A = this chain, B = another copy of it.
Amino acid sequence: MFKTVKNKKICEEILEQMKELLVSGHLTVGQRIPSEIELSETLGVSRSSLREALRVLDVLGIIEAKTGDGTFIKEAKMENIGNIMTLVALSKELETSDLYEVRIILESYAASLAAERRSNEDLAIAKKYLLKADNGSTGEEGSLLDHLFHSSVIKASKNNVLVMLMDMISGLLSEQIKSTRTLFSSSAELMELIQKQHWEIYDAIEQQKPLEAQKKVFDHLNNAKIIINLKQKS
């Protein structure tokens, strides 16, 4: 019946104004915004309050402040967004199993898209990592190559939302993924199996077979999941 009285902080009001200016197109990428002193006088607020608002936009990657030069509207990059999302996701209690479930579904779908949309360049990048891994890779290097291969597949999907979400989920699962990798690296057979599966995924994408690529990734990740569960129980 009664609405809660909004006790908005100054910084939040500034953010709303900035948002409107961005939506309306009055602020475009690359443009320089007035100096902090000038803006604070225009808005009728202190420099501190204005800076708190600007800092938010800075962390979100919407603006870039250059010392001694000025502040400019920037194009937000995926990495930044993924970082922020990770931060937000941390304050929620997310089950690792739920995360892995979503990872499997998104990554296998990314593979199917990759099979449709991959460029020759995408293939070359993915192949490079696989060849390196073929020449024997252990420990951290192997773990890195594994991650790079999976990333290259996702990027080949050409869907930036997928890239962002997978960045985020990988970040949240990083500990689990690392321990998985070290678990695997203890067994030469498992390592060979993984590498074989990677090549099968690559082939499916190279030959532009979406459904096959999707299934290969799905099975690949599910394998890992099953093995983890087995090891944990034992």
Provide the residues of chain B in CB contact with A98, threshold 8 Å.
Answer: 159-162
**A interface, how many residues as a size bin?**
35 or more
Q: Is A91 an interface residue (CB 8 A)?
A: yes
Provide the residues of chain B in CB contact with A225, threshold 8 Å.
Answer: none
Question: In the complex, A130→B81 CA distance in Å?
Answer: 36
Among the listed B22, B92, B105, B109, which residue makes an inter-chain contact with A76, where contact means beta carbons less than 8 Å apart? B92
Chain A window 1-18, contacts with chain B (Cβ cutoff 8 Å), 1 for yes, 0 for no: 000000000011001000
Chain B CB within 10 Å, residue with most, of A84, A86, A88, A164: A88
Q: Is A23 an interface residue (CB 8 A)?
A: yes
Shortest Cβ distance from A74 into B: residue: B91
Identify the A interface with B (CB < 8 A): 11-12, 15, 19, 22-23, 29, 48, 51-53, 55-57, 59-62, 73-78, 81, 84-95, 98-99, 101-102, 105-106, 109, 113, 159-162, 164-165, 168-169
